[in-house]
Structure 1
Amino acid sequence: MANLEAIFQLQSVLRQMESDLGLDGLSANEKSILLAVHNLAETNGPIVESFQMRRHILLEKVAQASFHRALRSLVDKGYLKKAGETKTKAYSLGEKLIEPPVNSRI
């Protein structure tokens, strides 16, 4: 039972952090894409191609149609932006993530 309590505590902290960042209204797939893009950008530079995202451990079990639907939604909401006019689909973090949420500003 101690393990379940630890998982509960971790999820509670995670939900609070997501809320603080303004991510609490996103679907699980949208959050996974954002985390994957952030992780890949830290390693490979700010521009991430969709095929790189699809190979990320957080997204390997997400159906292709669900992935593209969530990706399009993140672009529409300003969390991601298309990066240039390349032949492949490339994205970077959007202004919505670079700017802190209004409720966290002092």
Structure 2
Amino acid sequence: MAKLSDMARLKELLLGMEKDLGMDDLSGVQKNIVYAATMLVNKRDEFETEAIRNHALLRDVSRSSFFRALKNLTDAGYIKHRDGTQRASYQLLKK
């Protein structure tokens, strides 16, 4: 029961941090894309779509849900498509 209690405290802390960062209005899939991108970005904050889709946080998300969430994050200013590249390359804007 102690581990469950610790997890509950961590969840509460995470929810507070998401609110502080203005992420509390994002869906679960959108948050997981931001989290995975943050873990996988290179020094210029760039990431490839396929790397994010293969991340453990997003493996079970349908293709349509993933790309819908990616578009919503682009529209909201969290990420942007890298200029002069194929669709598969994005840049993380908000951290």
Same fold (TM over 0.5): yes
> What SS does structure 2 have at the residue aligned with 1:91?
strand
Gaps of 5+ in 1: 99-106
How far is 1:67 from its partner?
Answer: 0.3
State the match for 2:46 in structure 1. 47
Please, what TM-score do these two structures have when normalized by structure 1? 0.81
Runs of 4+ in structure 1 off by over 6 angstroms are none
**Greater percentage in helix:** 1
Q: Deviations over 1:47-85 (max 9, x none)?
A: 211111111111111111110000000000000011122
Distance between the aligned counterparts of 1:37 and 1:79, measured in 2? 11
> What SS does structure 2 have at the residue aligned with 1:86?
coil
The reply on whether 1:18 has 2:9 as its aligned counterpart is no
Distance between the aligned counterparts of 1:83 and 1:15, measured in 2? 30
Rg bigger for which structure?
A: 1
Please, what TM-score do these two structures have when normalized by structure 2? 0.90
Distance between the aligned counterparts of 2:10 and 2:46, measured in 1? 30
Does structure 1 conserve the Cα–Cα contact (< 8 Å) formed by 2:29 and 2:69? yes
Q: Counterparts of 1:1-106 in structure 2 under 5 Å?
A: 1-41=1-41, 44-45=42-43, 46-94=45-93, 97=94
Distance between the aligned counterparts of 2:51 and 2:87, measured in 1? 11
Q: Which amino acid counterpart does residue 26 of structure 1 have in structure 2?
A: L
Distance between the aligned counterparts of 2:36 and 2:2, measured in 1? 30
> What SS does structure 2 have at the residue aligned with 1:84?
coil
Gaps of 5+ in 2: none
